[in-house]
Amino acid sequence: MTAAAGRRAVRGATEADAEDAASLLRRFNAEYGDPAPSLLELTGRVAELLAEGATTVLLAGDGPDGLALLRFRTALWSPGLECYLAELYVVPERRGQGLGRALLDAAIDDARARGADTMDLGTSEADTLARGLYERSGFVNREHPPDGPLMYVYERNL
């Protein structure tokens, strides 16, 4: 897919797309063996985030076949917003066709348009496909690149 065709394949979701988005998010978690809320509950959650206004959901392909979910907030260290790329997913049968790159390009366009200065995300050491995509797009996982220490995500339940 050319970059132009990729961008045409991506559209911004509205609350009417919340069920499609939730369905993709559930496929994402099922593929990686992670639990997920019911389709009904997750659809409501996506619709609520879209209604709040600090979230963008992008959909790719006719299925839709892929999704990006971006969260925005006032930044601490810069005058604009911080953008967190919370989710990026393409269904297995559509991988290798440029949809992930198209979603990431569209996510960066959207974040810039909303006034974000930075974008960050967390991903697994093992997800080499995603890491390659992020690294080709200018993301780094080291402090003081290119040779500084790695940056880890830590998390816990409360």
Distance CA 71, CA 89 (A): 15
- Is residue 41 within 8 A of residue 25, CB to CB? The reply is no
What burial class does residue 125 get, using C-beta atoms within 10 Å of its C-beta: 0-12 exposed, 13-18 middle, 19+ buried? exposed
- Is residue 10 within 8 A of residue 102, CB to CB? The reply is yes
From residue 149, give the alpha-carbon distance in Å to each of 13, 31, 128, 142: 37, 31, 19, 5
Question: Residue 15 or residue 117: which is nearer to a second copy going by CB?
Answer: 117
As measured in angstroms, the least distance from the Cβ of 103 to a second copy is: 15
Selected from 112, 129, 132, 136, the binder of a second copy by CB under 8 A is: 112
147 binds a second copy (CB under 8 A): no
Selected from 12, 14, 118, 132, the binder of a second copy by CB under 8 A is: 118
Task: For residue 144, give every residue at least 6 positions away whose Cβ sits within 8 Å of its Cβ, in sequence order, or none.
Answer: none
Distance CA 59, CA 56 (A): 10
146 binds a second copy (CB under 8 A): no
As measured in angstroms, the least distance from the Cβ of 22 to a second copy is: 10
As measured in angstroms, the least distance from the Cβ of 70 to a second copy is: 11
Q: Which stretch binds a second copy (CB under 8 A): 1-9, 10-18, 90-98, 133-141?
A: 133-141
**Residues near a second copy (CB under 8 A):** 25, 33, 36-37, 45-46, 48-49, 52, 54, 69, 71, 73-78, 83, 86-87, 108, 111-112, 116-127, 131, 134-135, 137-141, 143-144, 148-158
